[in-house]
Structure 1
Amino acid sequence: MSNILLKTLGATAIAIASVMPAAAQETELARSMLWSTYDVGSSGYTEASAVADAFGKKFDTRVRIMPSGTSIGRLLPLKTGRVQYGWLANEVYFATEALYDFSVQEWGPQDLRIVAGRPSTFGMAIATDSGIKTIADLRGKRVPRIKANPSINIKVEAMLAFAGLTWDDVQVVEVPSYGAALQALVDGQADAAGTTPTAATLYELEGSSRGLSWAPLPEDNAEGWAAVTDVASFFAPATVTTGAGISEDNPAQIFAVRYPMITVYADADENEVYNFIKALDESFDIYKDATSAMPNWAISEAGTTPQDAPFHPGAIRYLKEIGVWTDKDQAWNDARLARLENVMAAWETATEEAMDQNISSKDWPTFWEEHRAAIEK
């Protein structure tokens, strides 16, 4: 009887196990990591520090952070393998497109992938007394362009494109820094400026006699948004209700961007990336209140498209598991990956032709840009 009972119990246990879901894979992180970020004091550094602290508390992983004030300084350690993850900004896009610092022959298009990226917003702040109501009204008006800051300038360029404008259609005010651009707006030396809605200087403008408004980028303007995404594919419509000159009763229709973006190279180990984004999700409750921006690191927000580069397969695997990754995300990712592959192929072709034609390093940037411009979108 006892043998029959044991066999029956055993068979029952096997049957139950066969219909039960497999236990979730335990998150496995390296004992130590090194990440690159923006300078100490930047939001990217602060946010990375908060996540690093959470990883230490929950997974006993020790994280060291390597800050840098330049795009090359943040990306080079990732390229050489010195750091495992970069908490980056629009240098991700520039690197995949071989633009600006990355157009030199020593760099070229970088095969980067996104793990996750926090949603942020950006818009065109305007002085109310300028009479500007729409992006189209910026024609002939004074707009700051920041020296050696393509990350901000490309956003302004995209907003101008919304109304079919370029830098040639406005009075360019050359300024040395982002802060100087906003101060020019406050001091009456500019009529509008591209900025995040929470920049401290904007509250000064809001309370001044000039007043503060936001040039709208309505989501239902399909032609305008096609022009925006033609400049760069990482922009998306956003309606915000907090910030200078903005409220629940007076929302601003601007656009969403990502910063910072946790970035790796395409050849990063899929299981390691999977575990990283899983850890990011599982430790969210520890770091979510570290700054006012940290709630936007919820994976349901930070794990969606568009971003500045395609997502890594390890991240996609986890996002699919938790139901965040959609068909729309997959379609965007496929198109973005195809674009990156086309850019890398064009770089190889341009490099071979440059050798045949004895193109000098001085002439290379122009030569490459001609090839890049011919790539199908």
Structure 2
Amino acid sequence: MSLGLAAPAVAQDYEWPRLLVIGTPGTASGSFASTNGWGPVLQKETGTTVRIVPEDSEPQRYGRLTDRQDIAISSVSAAEMRFQIQGIGGYAGTKPAAQRVLWHHNDTPWGYVVAGDSELQSIDDIKTKGARVTQGVFSPPMVTAVTEALPGFLGMTEAEVADKITFVPASSYGENCRSVVEGKSDVAYCSPISSVLSEMEGAPGSIRWLSLDPDKADNWDGYLKHRPMLVPTEISLGVSTARGIGGATSNFLYAVSADAETDFVYNMAKWLHESHDAYADTHPLAKRMSIELFRGYLNRTPLPVHEGTVKYLREIGQWSDADDEWNNAAIEKMDAWLSAREAAMAEARDQGVEIQFENQEFLDILNKHTEGLEGLRSRL
């Protein structure tokens, strides 16, 4: 009763679901920590029971949102959504499903971390001296970041990669990052805002970062060929060892299924905006959920925004007719990819071909149906 009386007008105008389940990456991630910051505030103000579920496997969390539908909102990187939509890597055999952006979560910096006493002094040392590089098999984009994008930045050939780099698999984000301080690997792709990085920075010997110079245009051309949703940046968030180091920004979003109820999404967007002051100090990343940062992200995202969010943004003067144009185009592009993938799966079933991302026969069918489709890329 007290929760109901304390709830603001928005809760009185809308009947919130009794249970709201939000999926995030694992407990060592900034996404999990920051969502646990604002979730209790939402629960207190609206009376809905908020449950934050850590799901380290990106494909599993994708399936829980779009297929099992036992989570209503997913914290996911824009890069991961590209893989999910286009069926890249481990997503090739997953069920194609339309998603929409609910709100901007954070602009997460990423970089390549080594142990404090590592012999690697610069990113170029990987090419000349060789290294063991952790491969986060739980996330296809993280696999691409080390197996393709990093060699692309260094201008390495396939033969050089085979000769100089040994990839060390890791099954979770925490394991991925800790590998360098545990001596299992030399280099790991991590975000400096994650709590596990604070733990690593405080460990004996601490950590260092191998800078990706934002001004090296040719190197970044090679990198962005494989990770086109990222933006070169100088890291300014997270652990102190990373600040001032060259890295990449990956925007994290709160995503919903395309068929999520408009009223629900509208009221979530309204609450996230109107109550920002109430939850902004619950976690450093919560400050990145402001309407100003969201509006800036909308100027370059290639991902479609849910109609409920659009409705709210238009009401407060943060959505224009020009936004409708690019958003409709984004929906058409997503639908084209999903339709092509569905057609590929139908053909594979008709021919008795196993739908599996490691089955080259299926991948050949998939490539045939998706050939010529324009891939997702940040609108720079």
Residue 351 (str. 1) matches residue 345 (str. 2): yes
- Letter matched to residue 363 of structure 2: T
Cα deviation digits, residues 182-231 of structure 1 (max 9, x gap) = 444336664432111241354257945xx62332241x444444444432
Question: For residue 21 of structure 1, what is the aligned residue in structure 2?
Answer: none
Rg bigger for which structure? 1
Match of 2:135 among 142, 145, 152: 145
In 1, Cα distance between the equivalents of 2:34 and 2:288? 11
The alpha-carbon distance between structure 1 residues 125 and 84, as it changes in their structure 2 partners (threshold 3 A), is closer
Matches within 5 A, 1:244-263: 244-247=240-243, 251-259=244-252, 261-263=253-255
State whether structure 2 residue 336 is matched by structure 1 residue 342: yes
CA contact (8 A) 1:125 1:215 kept: no
Distance 1:50 1:315 in 2: 22
Q: Distance in 1 between matches of 2:115 and 2:351?
A: 51
Distance in structure 1 (CA, Å) of the matches to 2:199 and 2:27: 20
Give the TM-score normalised by structure 2.
Answer: 0.73
Residue aligning to 1:11: none
167 and 130 in structure 1: CA distance in 2 versus 1, 3 angstrom threshold: farther
The within-5 A match list for 1:220-369 is 220-242=215-237, 243-247=239-243, 251-259=244-252, 261-302=253-294, 304-305=297-298, 309-322=303-316, 336-355=330-349, 357-361=351-355, 363=359, 365-369=362-366
Go from structure 1 to structure 2 and tell me whether the alpha carbon gap of 1:125 and 1:361 turns closer, same or farther (over 3 Å shift): closer
Deviation at 1:112, TM superposition (A): 0.7
Counterpart Cα distance in 2 of 1:368 and 1:322: 46
Q: Is the 8 A contact 1:36 1:68 kept in 2?
A: no
CA distance 1:186–1:62, change in 2 (3 Å): closer
- Quick check: 1:125 aligned with 2:113? yes
The answer to whether the aligner puts 1:84 opposite 2:76 as a matched pair is no
**Given that residues 125 and 214 in structure 1 are in contact (C-alpha distance below 8 angstroms), is that contact kept between their aligned partners in structure 2?**
yes
What stretches of structure 1 move > 6 A for 4+ residues in a row?
A: 326-332
User: What is the CA–CA distance in structure 2 between the aligned matches of 1:308 and 1:244, rounded to whole Å?
Assistant: 32
Percentage identity across paired residues of the two chains: 22
TM-score for the superposition, normalised by structure 1: 0.74
- Given that 2:115 and 2:180 are in contact with CA atoms closer than 8 Å, whether structure 1 keeps it comes out as yes
**2-structure distance, mates of 1:327, 1:123:** 37
Structure 1 runs not aligned, ≥5 long:
1-23
Query: Runs of 5+ in structure 2 lacking a partner?
Result: 1-9, 376-380
> Measured at CA, do residues 213 and 369 of structure 1 come closer, stay the same or move farther in structure 2, by a change above 3 Å?
same
Q: RMSD of aligned C-alpha atoms?
A: 3.8
> 1:173 maps to what in 2?
167
Instruction: Give the 3-state SS of the residue equivalent to 1:56 in structure 2.
Output: helix
- The aligned residue for residue 35 of structure 1 is 21
Q: What is the total number of aligned residue pairs between the two structures?
A: 344
8 A contact 1:50–1:287 mirrored in 2 = yes
Distance 1:182 1:166, change over 3 A: farther
Q: In the superposition, relative to structure 1, how do residues 114 and 27 fare at CA in structure 2: closer, same or farther (>3 Å)? A: farther
* Change in CA separation of 1:171 and 1:313 when aligned onto 2, cut-off 3 Å: same
